[in-house]
């Protein structure tokens, strides 16, 4: 099958990792060999094994196949800042060729690669390029994660318009409730269903859980919210 999907967020901290792990676990339960890929990660911890980003570790653990950390996350930066700032501080250059090589390698090992972005759609990787430029180069179909909160309707529509302006397809979207209480939640979901391209893949409710708890539970309980049929996996 060798499919690949790019998970984009309407902003930073909207739940891309939670939604990506939910997709990965749903695929695992369905017997589909899906692997997570976090090409660029800012905000990492120094460990005995080197820099490790918590989002990338979660994707590695939720994947259906065994892969190394470096396969999941080729560019790891220490500070939780925009990749172009982090790369400059660490005197590194983010190269599209490295991202593409990593994707190609994971495709040979799996049926599907789920690629989690960094920040929002137009996150810069240097003074002239965006991560979205690489997504366009690879012609990847997009899954949009919408963090349901005040202001999300504007962010969702603008992001969807930018993705489509880049000539890419939004195959589906996920509503992620980022706060325990969200005023007019049902009305916002209805509006998004009417306005966003692609089908709704899931509504993931707010769950209070720290990162260690997420790792311990392996996101198995998130999988039940995912409708994999939207992605035509296994076909």
Is 76 known to sit in a ligand binding site?
Answer: no
Is 184 known to sit in a ligand binding site?
Answer: no
Is 98 known to sit in a ligand binding site?
Answer: no
**Contact indicator for 33, 45 with CB cutoff of 8 Å:** no
Q: How many CA atoms lie within 13 A of 133 on its CB side?
A: 12
Length of the chain equals 235
Q: Is 54 exposed, middle or buried (0-12, 13-18, 19+ CB in 10 A)?
A: middle
Please say if 38 is a catalytic residue. yes
Q: Is 220 exposed, middle or buried (0-12, 13-18, 19+ CB in 10 A)?
A: middle
Is 136 known to sit in a ligand binding site?
Answer: no
CA nearest 123: which of 53, 39, 44?
39
Is 55 known to sit in a ligand binding site?
Answer: yes
Does residue 73 sit in helix, strand or coil? coil
Is 128 known to sit in a ligand binding site?
Answer: no
**Residue-by-residue DSSP string for 111-177:** SEEEEE-SSSTT-BSSSS-BHHHHHHHHT--EEEEEEESTTHHHHHHHHHHHHHHTT--EEEEEEEE
38, 95, 218, 224: the active-site residue: 38
Q: How many CA atoms lie within 13 A of 76 on its CB side?
A: 20
Is 176 known to sit in a ligand binding site?
Answer: yes
Is 15 known to sit in a ligand binding site?
Answer: yes
Is 14 known to sit in a ligand binding site?
Answer: yes
Is 54 known to sit in a ligand binding site?
Answer: no
Is 159 known to sit in a ligand binding site?
Answer: no
Active site residues: 38
Residue ranges for the known binding site are: 13-18, 42, 55, 116-119, 176-177, 205-207
Residues flagged as binding site for substrate: 42
């Amino acid at each position: 099958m060798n499919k690949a999907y790019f998970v984009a967020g309407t902003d930073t901290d909207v739940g891309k990792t939670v939604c990506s792990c939910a997709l990965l676990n749903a695929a695992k339960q369905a017997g589909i060999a899906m692997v997570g890929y976090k090409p660029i990660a800012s905000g990492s911890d120094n460990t005995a094994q080197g820099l490790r980003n918590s989002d990338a570790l979660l994707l590695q653990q939720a994947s259906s196949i065994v892969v190394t950390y470096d396969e999941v996350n080729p560019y790891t930066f220490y500070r939780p800042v925009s990749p172009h700032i982090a790369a400059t501080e660490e005197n590194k250059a983010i190269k599209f060729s490295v991202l593409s090589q990593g994707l190609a390698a994971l495709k040979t090992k799996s049926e599907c690669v789920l690629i989690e972005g960094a920040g929002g759609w137009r996150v810069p990787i240097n003074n002239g390029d965006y991560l979205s430029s690489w997504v366009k180069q690879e012609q990847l179909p997009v899954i949009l994660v919408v963090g349901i909160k005040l202001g999300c309707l504007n962010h969702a529509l603008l992001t969807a318009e930018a993705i489509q302006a880049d000539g890419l397809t939004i195959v589906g979207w996920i509503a992620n409730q980022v706060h325990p209480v969200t005023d007019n939640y049902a009305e916002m979901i209805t509006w998004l269903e009417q306005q966003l391209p692609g089908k709704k893949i899931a509504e993931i409710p707010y769950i209070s859980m720290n990162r260690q708890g997420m790792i311990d539970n392996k996101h198995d309980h998130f999988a039940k919210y995912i409708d994999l049929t939207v992605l035509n996996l296994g076909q």
